Structure 1
Amino acid sequence: MATPGVAKATEAPHPAEGAEAAETAELSRALSRLLPGLEADSKPGRRRALEALRRALEEPGPAADPAAFQGPWARLLLPRLLRCLSDPAEGCRALAVHLLSLGLRRAARPHDALPRLLPALAARLACPEPTRRQPEVCEELRLALVQLLSLAVDLGGAALAPHLDDALRVLRCSLLDPFAAVRRESCSCAAALAQATPDHFHMQSESLIGPLMQTISHQHWKVRVAAIEATGTVIQFGNGKSVDDVLSHFAQRLFDDVPQVRRAVASVVGGWLLHLRDRYSFFHKLIPLLLSTIDDEMPEVRQLSASLWEDVGLQWQRENEEDLKDKLDFTPPPPPHYPPHEHRPVLGCRELVFRNLSKILPALCHDITDWVVGTRVKSAQLLPVLLLHAEDHTTQHLEIVLRTLFLACADEETAVVHSCSRSAELIGTFVNPEVFLKLILPMLKKGPSASGLLVLASTIRGCPREALQPHLKAIATELAQAHICQASENDLYLEHLLLCVQALVSVCCKDCSTASLQLMDVLLTIMALTGSTSLRDKAQETMDLLATAEGVSSCQDLYRKYMGPLLERATASHLDWTAHSPELLQFSVIIAQSGPALGEALPHIMPTLRACLQPSRDPQMRLKLFSILSTMLLRAADTIDSQGQLPSYLEMVTKDILAPNLQWHAGRTAAAIRTAAVSCLWAFTSSEVLSAKQIRDVQETLMPQVLTTLEEDSQMTRLISCRIINTFLKTLGSMIDPDKLIKIYPELLKRLDDVSNDVRMAAASTLVTWLQCVKNADGKAYYQSSIQYLYRELLVHLDDPESAIQDAVLEVLKEGSALFPDLLVRETEAVIHKHRSATYCEQLLQHVQAVPATQ
């Protein structure tokens, strides 16, 4: 039986409880006086009541005590404020939302309000399916209501689980709100809801993925960031299977122009790789996303991605320590030729990539050839990152990688080509050349392409010297095959072919001496086929580097060493050459570039020229060869006659090469060939290679044809022919047969009527030389009638409108005046009155009187 004292103590209330009850009663009375105003018919009346409530709650007093506030809040205030959320007046609704937020913060048990608050919020924010419009039309109020929901989530925590349906219904609509701020707040709320109710949220998390993925491409970057971060949390605390639904959307955000968005993707994906419950099953899907940001253009994104990736690798390494025990205990050193500017990833990162590479590569290789430029660029940038992790394990996937590189290196985007070239270099670094050459060379043989050559050049560039050296000659021999080096005249193809040679020379250095002939053959083909001066110059620079590697002072020494084999390879098919034959173009380059070494190869060069310059052969080819021959003869001492052996081929040049091509044939092409042949003859006779006797032999053979070329339509041909005849006459002097000599001057006289003053001047100069030959000949009387005719014709031209021609003709007459001066005087006096000016005739007469006649 209790004592009276104990009973009294039990019945008496605690002083604090009494004070709390008093405050609650006081607050209830105060609120009761204000609450009727909320039911007023007039909008100002309801607004004044709400304003009064706001002041009552914000001022210090009973409302500040959570315990005292809880009762009136739940019993009196909450139901009425929730009804105010549908008030027709926007201002009243705004005040109601503010008071609800204030009440939740003040209440001792805010979660008690959730059963009534969540349905009310759903009623204002959730869209009825047919209309898809929220009942709340004011966007600022929708923002305030979502913020109120966020507050309820923060304060309610796990107590929100029974009301998850209402909360998710609200978020599914507010995540698609037209107002960007509402979307951002909804994203934050979704993330908070996922964290607050993990035990129940995972069953319904998938319902938010659709709205979030619609928001992830919003025009405001802050909304996109919020959507990405919210998706990360929703999946982290929700259903991991949703990863598949968001991957493509996340991949698209990697192309976002705003670095904060890309950073958010890296952060979320890195977080999943570290913390997602079933992350192991998604490694092959998530790793490419994170590694794609490691090469981001923004340093902060790169640093974050690299840090997260290393954390992922180290964590996986710890979780699989038993499996990796041997590799951890006996860590092999980096490959000896590891790329110098690359940081080697930790073992866990390398193992993760290697173990998932077979699942990653097929999709990646498909994307590298996608029709969207951005996809190709990103995928191509990811490939070298994966290969850097895979190292020698790349060998297992070499075929699919090389096949992709062959396609991607033909891409019009330089960024794609650059990344693929880098990937090929890494293949050269980590894969044995014997392996990758067995795949690359047959692919090139089957279908030579610029992209295939770029892949080969890049793999060679990345290959260690000692590994590549045993395969050097095989590569050079394959490149020198006609089906590769002559496959295309496209400059890009030739440029990539040159890259292969440059890579071999730069990697193998002095070892290239074993394949110099083949490499020279390739370089000559490039110089022959290209129309680009810059590419030709690069090929010549590479030839100089090859000479250095060979240990000789210049490429001239290389030609001297390999001239025989080079000419044999080039001229083996000379009987089938046309103007477009690659071998003819190669032959041209050898002739143009080899300098003094040509003089040692005349037994090979001259028969080839004789065979190819016959009138029955392709005219365009003959023109090219005559052009080459002219160039050689102009510098004969430094080229074709460097050994003094050219004169021994005089008969072949004159009778077998020049004579047949100086014969007249109808047509412009035939005329062009005659011009080229005349140019060669001029270069030959003026090159100081031939002796006087040899020039006489040439004159005996070719003078009739040269005289006929004085009638050619080509001014150049007529001019050069005059000069050749002049050279013949100067060399022969009086030794020429009189009958042959007499046949020359009428043809020269005709040229004084030429349309070209240059030809007329050259003809006059040649007539001076002809008269000197007559002057030195025996039996001048034999020439008298010819000289008389010459005087008459020259006197006509002495009255030419061109003073330069008059001066030239005067010099001819002065030269001939010594032969028959009396005859010249008579002829001059007979025509002096017919000239427009007697000045030149008088000068001539004065000269004749001053110079005694030749005896």
Structure 2
Amino acid sequence: MTTAPEDFPQLLQAKRFCDLLSSTDRHVRKNALFSLKNLILESRLSCDQNHQIFVTCHTYILNAMRDSSEIVREHGIKCISTIVLKVLPSTDFYLCPLVNAILERLGSAEIIEPTEELRMLLLQTLHDILNAYNEHLLVIFMNEFVAILKQSVKDKYPPCKDISCICISQIAQCMPNQFRPHAASLVQPVLSILKHQHQKIRIAGVRCIGDIIMHSDHPSLNNCVGPLAEKLFDRQSAVRAAVVHVAAKLMMNYRDRYSFFHKLLPLMLTGLHDEVKEVREEAQELWVQVGIQFQIENDKDLKDRLDFLADRPKYYPAELNRPNEGCRVLVQRNISKMVEALCFEMLSWQEDVRVRCSQLLCVIAQYAEESIVVHLPMLLKNMYVAVRDSDERVSENIIRAAEIIAAFAPVNSWTVNILPAVEGCSSFGCIKILACFVRAAPHELIEPVLPKIAQTVCKQNVTHVRNALIHNELRECINAIQTQFTTDMPLEIAQNLFNAIIAVEGNGDDLENTDMLEQLRITMNLNSQCTLWKLFLPKLLENIEFDTHTWNGHYFERGMLQYILLHSGAAFGRNLPAMIAILSKALNEEIDPTSRLTIFIALQSALDDESFIDPQTPETDTFLKTLISELLAPALIWKAGASAEALRTAAASCLASALACGKNCELFQAKESFQPLINEVLPLLISLSDDTNQEIRMLSLENMQLLKQHLVDMELWSAEFLITCYPHVLKRLDDPIEAVRNFTVGVLRVILEGPPDPFLAPVYRNHHEFIIDTLFVHFDDMDEEFRSRVRSALDMMIEINAPLLKEIAEKHKPIVRNQSGCDEILKYLDSLHIN
């Protein structure tokens, strides 16, 4: 029987509170709500009585939720939520007004409730409703819930976003079937908070998206994968860990997960390379669970693999732990759907994306094992570009991926793709990748193709590229090939590597670098680099094409020849016929002056090396004569211009080195062939003694001195040669350059020393007098040191004509300033009893 209103005083008291709620004083309205709530909580009334109070008061309380006063609205929310959730039975009759009130305040496109804290209070009430009521009752209000949460999740107040995500997850989990039709409408609102500045809100959004996807249709997953992937670049590790958790949850529990593994795998696998150790470990643990579950679900299909392929592969990288079968099969079955996207993102303009993709490639390479072979053409093409990335992290990851692939992929599967790219040699990326594959491939497998690789590396269109980066990578590639051998490298491979080293180092910035040759020597177990040169230089000279008519200052064969001259040493002396043929082309007058000059300079350095000329080689004499007569002599002829002057200087230097080398080796023993050489060179040297360049003048004198020494050794020293030379040497005593004058005195002493017997005859007295008179002129020089040098030259005339020297000294004494010097000469001559 229903209780009449007059049967219990609380109803009358509640009516009085309703009257107070109509007051114009906000404090009265607030106190009325507070008292009404306490009345209902403290009074132990029956359900019917509580029902009558609710029916009587709920309209006033709901109106209070619309009050202009914030404090009144707050107490109105607390009052109605307390009555409905803590006092009244769980029925839709009582819940409906409360849900509608929340919908009214929060569910419209323009939220009516202006106060952040009250919006939060309303959402907390909604959260309490979801916790307090069962699924069957909540289903009735699904439309209202979704309408509220679609707006509240976009609230500017962060706590509202957080609790809205929690509410969405609650609805998705407790009412999955009813939630599914509405899930798509919540995707975009929730995705909008993934970029929120607060870490907590981003984490809540990621988790909420996971619950939405779990209980929604396929389009929702497609729409969310991209934004979730972006969160893998979040600066906070907790956000990245949340993405990994969502991915693992979907891979294990999503109802149609097999159709979407290729989309979820990148999210899962990227976590394995996270910067934070805890995230990596957590991702690894979850990934193992995913693999084990997949393995259990497909135990029949995987039975053979589990039974017969359990052993670790022979060439599996020692530093890697092999994943479980489920993880490997998951990647192998989905790699074809991931490769294209991976290759595209690997070249993204965003640095972080490229880093993550390069890390992902390492993981996929490890898990895919031999299954990656099918996709190598596409992968390699993009790896060539990615390995050149300015970000070292990307480059290092690509190198690591290449090394992992090399451990699994058959050698023929990657050589057929990489070697043609290397031959094209459009960039250094393909060479760098080749070096990685060669270095990491098992020796037993790669050994049959190493000759082909070495042959490709030494081709002209690979080595003859003026690009320092390509040269650096060629060095790495050559070193990688050498690492495949501890001893007994085949000569064919070594020859190709030698050729490539000469081409690369000969056109590098440092022509003195011989580190690569030293490494090759060690690999070949040879006792010296000289032996290395002797072993491989003949074949190099035989095969290389020195088309000198196309040479210029940057031509590659020119750089190779220059390097050979600088470093081949005695090996050059063993290949003189081939070298003189090459030099005849390289130093031809039609060749670019810059190229000729560099070859002259290198040739001089080679001739200065004591080991360069082997006197036991029968061709040495012919080589030097041909060099002097056909190559150096034409360059000594005077021509106008700075280039011609530089060439004359270099040629004169080479001539001096060649003559000095010949003397040390006791060459030029054939008198009948050497005399014509003297007759050809001497006039040129005399001409050069008047050159405007002081260095050339000094070199001409030095060469005259060297020629004199050869003539003495060959018993061809004659008065004619002396008479031809000495006037031009004496002339240089008047040179404006002090260094030339001092050098001239030394040369003059050498030329006058040991004069030919015919020159001592009286018939040559005029020559003797000319020499002595000229020397006495300079013996009166202001420079004391120079006078001392001239005195040493005058002493050489004692052997030639001492009486004439005394006569001229007495004649000059009264008229020179250097009286003491004349006295010393006369005194010395008197001591020799010269009359």
2:105 corresponds to: 124
Matched, 1:625 2:609: no
CA distance in 1, matches of 2:484, 2:81: 73
Q: Which runs of 5+ in 1 are unaligned?
A: 1-10, 833-837
CA distance in 1, matches of 2:525, 2:708: 50
1:223 corresponds to: 201
Cα deviation, 1:96-134, whole Å, max 9, x if unaligned, reads: 333344445522535543201111111111234xxxx32
Whichever residue aligns with residue 159 of structure 2, its letter is: A
| Residue in structure 2 matching 1:521, options 480, 488, 499 | 499
2:484 corresponds to: 507
CA distance in 1, matches of 2:646, 2:510: 26
Whichever residue aligns with residue 581 of structure 1, its letter is: Y
Whichever residue aligns with residue 84 of structure 1, its letter is: A
Cα deviation, 1:139-190, whole Å, max 9, x if unaligned, reads: 2222222222212222124222211222212211111112222212211121
CA distance in 1, matches of 2:50, 2:517: 93
2:345 corresponds to: 367
Change (3 A) 1:532 1:786: closer
Check whether the contact 2:457–2:500 (CA below 8 A) recurs between aligned residues: yes
Matched, 1:75 2:55: yes
CA distance in 2, matches of 1:532, 1:142: 73
CA distance in 1, matches of 2:649, 2:258: 81
1:820 corresponds to: 804
Matched, 1:704 2:683: yes
Change (3 A) 1:234 1:825: same
Deviation at 1:242, TM superposition (A): 0.4
Change (3 A) 1:827 1:248: farther
Whichever residue aligns with residue 394 of structure 1, its letter is: I
CA distance in 1, matches of 2:56, 2:484: 88
Deviation at 1:234, TM superposition (A): 1.7
Check whether the contact 1:425–1:463 (CA below 8 A) recurs between aligned residues: yes
1:435 corresponds to: 413
Which runs of structure 2 are paired with 1:438-453 in the superposition (5 Å)? 438-453=416-431
CA distance in 2, matches of 1:431, 1:728: 68
Change (3 A) 1:422 1:566: same
Cα deviation, 1:179-208, whole Å, max 9, x if unaligned, reads: 222212211121122223223111111111
Change (3 A) 1:627 1:416: same
Matched, 1:769 2:769: no
CA distance in 1, matches of 2:325, 2:414: 25
| Residue in structure 1 matching 2:78, options 76, 98, 102 | 98
Query: Quick one: percent identity of the two aligned structures?
Result: 27
CA distance in 2, matches of 1:101, 1:531: 82
1:8 corresponds to: none
| Residue in structure 2 matching 1:663, options 622, 637, 643 | 637
CA distance in 2, matches of 1:741, 1:524: 46
CA distance in 1, matches of 2:366, 2:631: 63
Whichever residue aligns with residue 188 of structure 1, its letter is: I
CA distance in 2, matches of 1:379, 1:522: 34
Change (3 A) 1:94 1:783: farther
CA distance in 1, matches of 2:666, 2:219: 96
2:529 corresponds to: 555
Which runs of structure 2 are paired with 1:727-746 in the superposition (5 Å)? 727-729=706-708, 732=711, 736-746=717-727
Matched, 1:149 2:126: yes
Change (3 A) 1:29 1:365: same
Deviation at 1:565, TM superposition (A): 0.7
Whichever residue aligns with residue 172 of structure 2, its letter is: A
Matched, 1:418 2:396: yes
- Structure 1 residue ranges (4+ consecutive) displaced by more than 6 angstroms after TM superposition: 65-69
Matched, 1:49 2:25: no
Matched, 1:39 2:22: yes
Deviation at 1:705, TM superposition (A): 1.6
Change (3 A) 1:353 1:122: same
Cα deviation, 1:4-25, whole Å, max 9, x if unaligned, reads: xxxxxxx9x9xxxx9xx99x95
Whichever residue aligns with residue 703 of structure 2, its letter is: I
Which runs of structure 2 are paired with 1:208-247 in the superposition (5 Å)? 208-247=186-225
Deviation at 1:815, TM superposition (A): 4.5
Check whether the contact 2:387–2:398 (CA below 8 A) recurs between aligned residues: yes
Matched, 1:531 2:509: yes
Deviation at 1:464, TM superposition (A): 1.0
CA distance in 2, matches of 1:135, 1:753: 109
CA distance in 2, matches of 1:110, 1:30: 25
Whichever residue aligns with residue 280 of structure 2, its letter is: R
Whichever residue aligns with residue 338 of structure 2, its letter is: I
Normalized against structure 2, the TM-score is what? 0.91
Check whether the contact 1:408–1:416 (CA below 8 A) recurs between aligned residues: yes
Matched, 1:206 2:181: no
CA distance in 1, matches of 2:433, 2:100: 65
Whichever residue aligns with residue 824 of structure 1, its letter is: I
Check whether the contact 1:461–1:507 (CA below 8 A) recurs between aligned residues: yes
CA distance in 1, matches of 2:488, 2:806: 83
Change (3 A) 1:385 1:46: same
Whichever residue aligns with residue 60 of structure 2, its letter is: R
Normalized against structure 1, the TM-score is what? 0.89
SS at match of 1:254: helix
Deviation at 1:790, TM superposition (A): 4.2
Whichever residue aligns with residue 467 of structure 2, its letter is: N
CA distance in 2, matches of 1:642, 1:221: 82
Matched, 1:754 2:740: no
Check whether the contact 1:40–1:46 (CA below 8 A) recurs between aligned residues: yes
Deviation at 1:603, TM superposition (A): 2.9
Deviation at 1:529, TM superposition (A): 1.9
Deviation at 1:274, TM superposition (A): 0.7
Matched, 1:352 2:330: yes
Deviation at 1:382, TM superposition (A): 1.1
Deviation at 1:399, TM superposition (A): 2.0
| Residue in structure 1 matching 2:664, options 646, 670, 689 | 689
Deviation at 1:647, TM superposition (A): 3.6
CA distance in 2, matches of 1:763, 1:289: 84
Check whether the contact 1:480–1:521 (CA below 8 A) recurs between aligned residues: yes
Check whether the contact 1:775–1:819 (CA below 8 A) recurs between aligned residues: no
Matched, 1:716 2:695: yes
Check whether the contact 1:512–1:546 (CA below 8 A) recurs between aligned residues: no
Check whether the contact 1:104–1:152 (CA below 8 A) recurs between aligned residues: no
CA distance in 2, matches of 1:782, 1:46: 148
CA distance in 2, matches of 1:245, 1:635: 74
| Residue in structure 2 matching 1:283, options 246, 261, 264 | 261
Whichever residue aligns with residue 203 of structure 1, its letter is: P
Larger deviation: 564-573 or 137-146? 564-573
Deviation at 1:265, TM superposition (A): 0.7
Check whether the contact 1:457–1:499 (CA below 8 A) recurs between aligned residues: yes
Deviation at 1:43, TM superposition (A): 1.8
CA distance in 2, matches of 1:80, 1:567: 107
CA distance in 2, matches of 1:465, 1:501: 15
Matched, 1:329 2:307: yes
| Residue in structure 2 matching 1:493, options 451, 463, 470 | 470
Deviation at 1:792, TM superposition (A): 4.6
1:4 corresponds to: none
CA distance in 1, matches of 2:433, 2:209: 41
Larger deviation: 73-82 or 233-242? 73-82
Cα deviation, 1:488-545, whole Å, max 9, x if unaligned, reads: 1211111222222222211244363251111111121111122257xx84xx444333
Larger deviation: 751-760 or 732-741? 732-741
Deviation at 1:799, TM superposition (A): 4.9
1:613 corresponds to: 587
Cα deviation, 1:468-487, whole Å, max 9, x if unaligned, reads: 1111111111222212222x
Check whether the contact 2:548–2:591 (CA below 8 A) recurs between aligned residues: no
Change (3 A) 1:470 1:739: closer
Deviation at 1:727, TM superposition (A): 3.7
SS at match of 2:72: helix
Change (3 A) 1:302 1:69: farther
| Residue in structure 1 matching 2:568, options 579, 586, 594 | 594
1:835 corresponds to: none
Larger deviation: 116-125 or 729-738? 729-738
Whichever residue aligns with residue 639 of structure 1, its letter is: F
